[in-house]
C-alpha cells in the first residue's frame, strides 16, 4: 500500500484539499481490505466492529492534534456535535449508494453456495 498523492508544504498548509481527502480515503479503504484478508481462502472479511473502533481511535488521535478542536470542553463538544451531524448525513448517503447496496447484496446476503465476496 502506498499513497501516491503528495503536495508541497505550502499546499499542505494552505487550505482544505479535497484531492488529499480522496487519497486518504483510498489509502484507508485499501488498508481495511488488506487487513481483512483471511488466510485460508480467497476472501476479505470486514469485521465492522473492529474497523469502526480502529477508525474511531484514529479519528480521536487526529482530532487531539488540532488546537481548535481541543481548546476547551466547549470546543470538543462543538467538534463532536458537528462530526455527528456529518456522520449521520454521510451514513444516510452511503445507505442510498447503488454501488454500496450492490456490494452488500453480493457479499453478505447472497444465498449462492460458495458466496461471491
* Whole-prediction pTM: 0.76
As given in the structure block, the three cell numbers for residue 102 are: 450492490
Q: How many CB atoms lie within 10 A of CB 35?
A: 14
pLDDT along the chain (117 residues), means of 10: 67 88 95 95 91 96 86 88 96 92 76 50
Question: Is residue 75 packed enough to be buried (19+ CB in 10 Å), middle (13-18) or exposed (0-12)?
Answer: middle
Q: How many CB atoms lie within 10 A of CB 107?
A: 15
Gap between the Cα atoms of 47 and 34, Å rounded = 12
pLDDT at 1: 46
In degrees to the nearest 10, what's the CA dihedral of 36, 6, 71, 87? -40
Backbone angles phi, psi at 98, to 5 degrees: -65, -40
pLDDT at 114: 52
Amino acid at each position: 500500500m502506498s499513497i501516491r498523492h503528495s503536495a508541497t508544504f505550502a499546499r499542505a498548509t494552505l487550505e482544505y484539499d479535497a484531492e488529499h481527502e480522496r487519497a486518504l480515503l483510498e489509502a484507508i479503504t485499501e488498508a481495511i481490505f488488506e487487513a481483512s484478508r483471511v488466510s485460508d481462502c480467497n476472501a476479505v472479511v470486514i469485521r465492522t466492529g473492529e474497523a469502526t473502533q480502529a477508525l474511531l481511535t484514529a479519528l480521536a488521535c487526529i482530532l487531539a492534534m488540532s488546537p481548535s478542536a481541543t481548546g476547551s470542553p466547549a470546543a470538543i463538544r462543538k467538534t463532536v456535535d458537528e462530526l455527528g451531524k456529518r456522520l449521520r448525513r454521510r451514513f444516510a448517503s452511503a445507505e442510498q449508494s447503488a454501488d454500496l447496496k450492490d456490494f452488500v447484496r453480493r457479499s453478505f446476503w447472497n444465498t449462492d453456495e460458495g458466496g461471491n465476496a
